[in-house]
Structure 1
């Protein structure tokens, strides 16, 4: 006997917000009998956490060498907002009637927050937890995660408009005689992109050598540095391939030209501004695989992933703080998405229809982005789910009776711009 159902709903279909926006939501309980509670409590929290294990050798008292695992951790909290929706922690017991009961809540996010991030050895995560505070019994908690985006406008830094160019050249020696060089020239039009866009790459090969170039491999890599503060200061750097393309071969004495494309998936923006325990960068790496016992040619350049794509002209002023999400008009077959006002109870939203590319796109259904007033001609982003999923959103502060929304784990949503492509390569 107890809670038959406890579900948290937020006021946009992607559970995605920009730093500085206001979250409105509600929790819906279904009780199979009246319940006595001290109160119902909501807590919003934003934090970063890093954790990994390293094997460490140490000598035991009998002189033998033993391997032990040392756990490195780091924590950083950005905000915590909590209050009671019903009752208080010091008041008298309240009887909640059986059946469906709905309680609304709201939270204004701080204007400066790092973007949501889920990685192998750490995360930046934002959660809301509603607790049924029961006297003399275990509290019953319902928890869900949501996405926060710190807008990275590529138009505000002129360096993101600079092209990328990698030039590799090598001569090969055989019996003390050097061959003519093999030259590889790779270009991309700009160095700043957004998810959904395609990085167009021009590859020119002039192979005057007597060695065959088997493959030209191009990688977009995520470079993450995790930092720990306990039991001592430590760092762990990971390089992960996000996507790759390749072409080849270029035989000895030949010239080749290839146009290659890297379509950027939904990934978090570069830098993770205001997070001091996780650094996030992206680079473009090239590897030219050659025949024989010769060393491959390698080079890399950093690329920036933003949340606002390059527009025709840079803005004259930085973005204004984001407004609260506006009411969304209903599409055929879909309920309207309405912010909750004081004392209002909205009806639950069903899942939106998927578009052909696998994203969700309804007019006005996404969060109001800070850049929309600056770039009125820029198309609305499509919010898509990242492939990087949290194994669990439970943490050390959760009790034994915490219900977590979503059995398959949490993955952040990021804005994508397939309809806004970067400038073409110069001819």
Structure 2
């Protein structure tokens, strides 16, 4: 990381300071409320770097003249950092904090969040993730019988195929499926959804899980004896961080009966990466049209929670 910190003395007057302190923090935090309203917390530190940009210990106050003062510096980030992530019950976040201390004890503080994207190259992942150069696509098949008594009843047969098992944001997932309704129950709809499942751990235990639906495609009803086919339907992937946290991305193909019976789900795990698959002869790992998160919210809901009275 390369940066240029600037400070501006207030009101165009000379400013006396005891030091300008700089702190880079990278942390993973989980904060979960139990059904009894007890808080379970855990924390991991990835970066904790401190330095003085102005002033030395034991020296007297420094004087800053009116105007803008720049303090250039460089900081190399460690390898293998988890990507920035914000969830309902925790976060992985990186930020810089500065403190300008005056001789009278007054301290001016500021903080700036920055994003870390840990790269995942699909070209270095197992061959089964793509269909380039003759590799096979991802497939899944299920046979389900509706009704309380399934003896002698005909099934609903569903086959789902993805064009590959790894993608980058901005690409589209090619979904192909065949749903053959041999039952006597009308299928209200079928749906393909890109979902994210996040598992939160604290003190070595799973304390909560969060599921998000990121994108979806829906088709209409299938009457008894009818068949519906999805042919390379395109499910667009929005800007997302890569898959290198305690969670996973799934394609869920959902069959919803028209009656009160439970829906049928087919799940296919996929990888979200930062570098797309290359065709033979391509020298660059990048492909035009890919999109990554350029900004992430810095709002943490639990910081706004009002304390409860015991």
TM-score range, shorter chain: 0.7 to 0.9
d(CA) in 1 for partners of 2:198, 2:166: 18
SS of the equivalent of 1:148 reads: coil
Residues 344-377 of structure 1: per-residue CA shift (max 9 Å, x gap): xxxxxxxxxxxxxxxxxxxxxxxxxxxxxx9427
Is the counterpart of residue 178 in structure 1 residue 86 in structure 2?
no
2:202 to 209, 214, 228: 228
d(CA) in 2 for partners of 1:224, 1:151: 19
Deviation at 1:389, TM superposition (A): 1.9
d(CA) in 1 for partners of 2:152, 2:226: 18
Is the counterpart of residue 271 in structure 1 residue 244 in structure 2?
yes
Contact 2:277–2:285 (CA under 8 A) maintained in structure 1: no
Distance 1:393 1:143, change over 3 A: farther
Distance 1:240 1:136, change over 3 A: same
Deviation at 1:100, TM superposition (A): 2.6
The equivalent residue for 1:376 is 284
Is the counterpart of residue 130 in structure 1 residue 130 in structure 2?
no
d(CA) in 1 for partners of 2:301, 2:66: 30
d(CA) in 1 for partners of 2:279, 2:168: 15
Deviation at 1:250, TM superposition (A): 1.4
Residues 8-46 of structure 1: per-residue CA shift (max 9 Å, x gap): xxxxxxxxxxxxxx3232224242121110111211121
The equivalent residue for 1:24 is 3
Is the counterpart of residue 82 in structure 1 residue 50 in structure 2?
yes
Bigger CA drift: 145-154 or 259-268? 259-268
SS of the equivalent of 1:155 reads: helix
d(CA) in 2 for partners of 1:280, 1:292: 33
d(CA) in 2 for partners of 1:217, 1:83: 53
Gaps of 5+ in 1: 1-21, 57-68, 273-278, 315-373, 396-427
1:39-188 to structure 2, matched below 5 A, reads 39-56=19-36, 69-158=37-126, 159-161=128-130, 163-172=137-146, 178-188=152-162
Output the aligned Cα RMSD: 2.7
SS of the equivalent of 1:105 reads: strand
Contact 2:170–2:289 (CA under 8 A) maintained in structure 1: no
Is the counterpart of residue 249 in structure 1 residue 221 in structure 2?
yes
Contact 1:121–1:226 (CA under 8 A) maintained in structure 2: yes
Contact 1:168–1:297 (CA under 8 A) maintained in structure 2: no
Is the counterpart of residue 219 in structure 1 residue 193 in structure 2?
yes
Deviation at 1:148, TM superposition (A): 0.9
Contact 1:224–1:238 (CA under 8 A) maintained in structure 2: yes
Taking structure 1 as the reference length, the TM-score comes to 0.63
SS of the equivalent of 1:209 reads: coil
